[in-house]
């Protein structure tokens, strides 16, 4: 078969089991693809062919032995560069960690290695996951495979762009305010943010600990379920993981949504939303109705309008606490040209962090400072509770909510980099989900101006099965996910 890199997980798994394809061949095809297109897209910051090919040969040996192996065995993946990988650089796309090689694997990586996956390398991101465009990387911006003059979204832009360009079969990203779903929507791929506590954060470099989640970025919904099966579950190393059994998510992939109750909250169709994006979403929602769902377009979540303000107090506050550890003493970049300890620590942070990270640290430090804590951070936490309660009430009536993933198509590189508020507004549809700790998936739902439009499906806490079922049903009835960019 030509173009092996275009295979999905379930297609590749079948060929590997039949013996008509080896993991080494598939891995080599992915590296060849990276060589062909990544000089235009810049999705990868580290590739590790020696490690990957050794993992592929071991996977081939296990497959030949006839053992009952996992569907991910021998399948090549890329990993966002804020997820700890033992022996492979984990930089967070920051000068602060540009030469950092972790001594341990994140829990999700241990889960993948237990299934004998192949790790091709690490993907570019906004520095410390702070951004919506992957322009805040200390190394280089990533470009959208659909239009190289546009952003792929962020902060998991490298992972989403790589999957859209078929540089790997799937990838992992992290999502603090939309960082999996927004780039998935911008790149015409599938991205899932699990319920907070469904996937371990151990080994994920912390940005905002009460919001962060790791999740899959894949070519279709079936692959998404397969990766979630591998990475979900409680973890003694992460006390915030939920002690619930993990279902087999592939069992939820039934193309049947008859009588499911879907709500469309009007607050997500925000002022300034591009008309073509609105039209694409309206067509997608009508399709869900045709497929048998009961759709109510008159749902209201009034506190949603405060989500952006709440997020940009809570997330920077947690970031300012989490990033205090980068003092140049224990690991990472260290300013050495002084005999004064305080100057060394100051210059380490001054030179090691980029402008967006510094902006958020300052915002967070201010919000937590004496005299302002009650006015900002405490108030934000109270409004967070109101947002969460509002979702709980709505979910008593509906099985899931349908919204745009982003109010616009991918914007031009450089267009919003000097306008933080416009940049932050690109996550307006995804932020409330993190604030409430809910699961949500973005799936391809059309095109506007020849650029991808994503549809977001939001579920109840630990309702991943329902949103996967809705996403799968819609995907089976449409062709959007099959469209590929010409690079």
Q: In terms of DSSP H, where are the helices of 291-370?
A: 307-322, 341-352, 355-368
Q: How far apart, in whole angstroms, are the C-alpha atoms of residue 376 and residue 315?
A: 12
Q: Please give the C-alpha separations between residue 244 and each of 49, 231, 289, in angstroms, as whole numbers.
A: 37, 14, 33
Residue 85, strand partner residues: 88
Residue 80, strand partner residues: 123
Residue 442, strand partner residues: 191, 456
In the three-class reduction of DSSP (H, G, I as helix; E, B as strand; rest coil), residue 285 is classed as: helix
| 156: nearest Cα among 190, 182, 138, 120 | 182
Query: Measured over all CA atoms, what is the biggest interatomic distance in the chain, rounded to whole angstroms?
Result: 71
Distance of CA 465 to the CA centre of its chain: 18
94 upstream amide cis, omega within 30 of 0: no
Query: Element (H or E) spanning 217, and its range?
Result: strand 213-218
Whether the CB-CB separation of 34 and 120 falls below 8 Å is answered with yes
Cα R_g (the chain), whole angstroms: 21
Active site residues: 80, 155, 179
Which residues, including other chains, have CB under 8 Å from residue 6's CB and lie 6 or more apart? 166, 484
Q: Read off φ and ψ for residue 90, nearest 5 degrees.
A: -130, 100
Which residues, including other chains, have CB under 8 Å from residue 461's CB and lie 6 or more apart? 195, 437, 438, 439
Q: How far apart, in whole angstroms, are the C-alpha atoms of residue 467 and residue 458?
A: 7
In the three-class reduction of DSSP (H, G, I as helix; E, B as strand; rest coil), residue 443 is classed as: strand
Q: What's the length of the chain? A: 487
DSSP state letter for 404: E
Q: How far apart, in whole angstroms, are the C-alpha atoms of residue 34 and residue 316?
A: 34
Q: How far apart, in whole angstroms, are the C-alpha atoms of residue 326 and residue 96?
A: 8
Q: Across the beta sheet with 440-448, what order do the strands follow?
A: 44-47, 118-123, 76-80, 170-175, 213-218, 190-193, 440-448, 451-459, 400-404, 261-265, 294-299
Q: How far apart, in whole angstroms, are the C-alpha atoms of residue 421 and residue 280?
A: 25
Q: Which tokens belong to 113? A: 């290695």
Q: Which tokens belong to 414? A: 């450089």
């Amino acid at each position: 078969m030509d173009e092996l890199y275009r295979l999905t997980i379930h297609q590749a798994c079948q060929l590997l089991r039949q013996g008509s394809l080896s993991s080494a061949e598939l891995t080599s095809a992915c590296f060849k693809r990276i060589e062909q297109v990544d000089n235009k897209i810049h999705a990868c910051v580290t590739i590790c062919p020696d490690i990957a090919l050794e993992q592929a040969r071991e996977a081939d040996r296990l497959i030949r032995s006839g053992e009952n192996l996992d569907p991910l065995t021998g399948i090549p993946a890329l990993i966002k560069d804020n997820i700890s990988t033992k022996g492979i650089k984990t930089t967070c796309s920051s000068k602060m960690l540009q030469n950092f090689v972790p001594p341990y694997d994140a829990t999700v990586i241990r889960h993948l290695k237990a299934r004998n996956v192949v790790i091709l390398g690490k993907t570019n991101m906004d520095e410390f996951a702070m951004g919506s465009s992957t322009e805040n990387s200390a190394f280089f911006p990533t470009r959208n495979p659909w239009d190289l003059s546009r952003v792929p979204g962020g902060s998991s832009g490298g992972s989403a762009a790589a999957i859209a360009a078929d540089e790997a079969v799937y990838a992992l990203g992290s999502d603090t305010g939309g960082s999996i779903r927004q780039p998935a929507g911008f790149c015409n791929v599938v991205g899932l943010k699990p319920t907070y506590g469904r996937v371990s954060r151990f080994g994920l470099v912390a940005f905002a600990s009460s919001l962060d989640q790791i999740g899959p970025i894949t070519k279709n919904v079936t692959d998404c379920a397969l990766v979630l099966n591998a990475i979900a579950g409680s973890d003694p190393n992460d006390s915030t993981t939920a002690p619930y059994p993990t279902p087999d998510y592939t069992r939820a992939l039934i193309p049947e949504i008859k009588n499911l109750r879907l709500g469309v909250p009007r607050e997500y169709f925000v002022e300034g939303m591009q008309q073509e994006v609105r039209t694409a979403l309206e067509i997608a929602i009508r399709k869900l109705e045709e497929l048998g769902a009961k759709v109510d377009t008159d749902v209201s979540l009034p506190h949603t309008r405060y989500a952006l303000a709440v997020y940009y107090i809570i997330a920077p506050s947690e970031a300012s606490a989490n990033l205090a550890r980068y003092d140049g003493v224990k690991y990472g970049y260290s300013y050495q040209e002084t005999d004064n300890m305080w100057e060394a620590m100051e210059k380490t942070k001054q030179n090691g962090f980029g402008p967006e990270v510094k902006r958020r640290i300052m915002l967070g430090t201010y919000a937590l400072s004496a005299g302002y804590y009650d006015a900002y951070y405490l108030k934000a936490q109270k409004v967070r509770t109101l947002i969460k309660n509002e979702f709980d009430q709505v979910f008593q009536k509906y099985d899931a909510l349908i919204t745009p993933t982003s109010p616009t198509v991918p914007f031009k590189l450089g267009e919003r980099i000097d306008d933080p508020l416009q940049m932050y507004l690109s996550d307006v549809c995804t932020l409330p989900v993190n604030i409430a700790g809910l699961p949500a998936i973005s799936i391809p739902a059309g095109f506007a101006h020849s650029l991808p439009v994503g549809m977001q499906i939001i579920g109840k806490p630990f309702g991943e099965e329902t949103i996967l079922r809705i996403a799968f049903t819609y995907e089976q009835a449409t062709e959007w996910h099959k469209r590929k960019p010409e690079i």
